[in-house]
Amino acid sequence: MTARETLTDFIRKDAGRLGFSAVGIAPGTGDVAAGPRLDEFIAKGRYGTMGWMPETAERRRSARALWPDVRSIVVLGMNYGPQDDPLAILQRPDRGAISVYARHRDYHDVIKGRLKELAGRMVAKARQSGLGEHDAKVFVDTAPVMEKPLGEMAGLGWQGKHTNLVSREHGSWLFLGSIFTTLEMTPDAPGRDLCGSCRACQDVCPTDAFPEPYKLDARRCISYLTIETRKPVPQEFRAAMGNRIYGCDDCLAVCPWNKFAGKASEAKLIAREDLNAPTLADLLALDDAAFRALFSGSPIKRIGRDKFVSNCLIAAGNSGDATLLGAVREHLTDAAPLVRAMAIWALARLSPEDALQRRSAALDREDDPVVRSEWHALQGP
């Protein structure tokens, strides 16, 4: 084998040693394949409140726009396949449904360290092999990198109709990271779209977030609504959220290619027992300190207690569980306007008469316009 072939073989084996399930090489030159989709996504405002999307669009279209010296990109995937049916929790309305990827340690912390180790060993191996001095940079959701299109370009799979990467071997359950390098490496053949006529991911979406196959409107996506935006979830989507309190796995879980997927083997990516099906009653009792303690080391910690509890209140309103009324009423006077607003909605769902009886007195002491709008939205005299 040539020195470059030996290096590529070393990268693949070392990636496996570090727990990566898939590895491929994409060219660092040229535009990212999904550039036109990104342009349409931005032009139609489908990014919602994620203002960084249009701001970083130019850098997303090309790896060289992000780092002019890049020549090759090593794209890696780590399997986080669930241990059980991820949709079973949706049948337990008194529990909170947390997306599979967030039921364990923050994947950024797990993967970034492995990427750095691999990048360092790769550069050292290149030097030892007579390929000269080279640089490398690692990325895992920390820069405007379009990991999913790059994963397709590197042959890890293809970007499916739900816009996520699909792998023949791992289905939809792959965390992605990348190593940009100045090394000239032979790219792998790009992935081939094998979605065919399947519409499972489109049809299962509770909020119709896919205007067309391969196109997502984030403003309608439950993952966006429960994680990315700090605005109140629009009325039209709250009932459809059910008990989903952080993210949504529906479009991923129904993909037929998941029949080939295995379960996560990395211990830090196996779900914590207390996050598999937490009770809404316990979650609604969280103050800021308890929230931070419960979600220490978890990606959920990033959205903050107020947003999280507001999501739980929507789930409580959808639960039909009258035993949650006490907790809901307590949040009518919460310090956070977002929490108060969603408590009103939840109360109106669980006990419409009670909500109407409280409206007049509540409006007399409420100054926040968002909270006042929730009281005014109640149906009744």
CA distance 23 to 85: 26
Q: Torsion angle, CA of 205/206/209/214, rounded to 10 degrees?
A: 0
Query: For the chain, where are the alpha helices, taking DSSP H only?
Result: 3-17, 35-43, 52-55, 57-61, 63-66, 107-128, 147-153, 200-204, 222-223, 235-241, 250-253, 280-284, 288-294, 304-319, 325-330, 337-350, 352-365, 369-376
151: tokens are 């994963």
How are beta strands 97-98 and 244-246 bridged, if at all?
parallel
Contact 167, 156 (CB under 8 A): yes
- CA angle at residue 71 from 68 to 73, to 5 degrees? 105
Question: Residues 14, 31, 94, 141: which is the catalytic one?
Answer: 141
46: tokens are 């489908």
129: tokens are 């092999």
141 catalytic per annotation: yes
Contact 162, 256 (CB under 8 A): no
**C-alpha distance from residue 115 to each of 3, 338, 353 (Å):** 22, 38, 56
Using DSSP's 3-state secondary structure scheme, residue 14 falls into helix
CA distance 76 to 176: 6
Annotated binding site: 60, 141, 165, 176, 195, 198, 201, 205, 221, 223, 248-249, 251, 255
CA distance 11 to 71: 16
Contact 312, 305 (CB under 8 A): no
Catalytic residue numbers, as ranges:
141
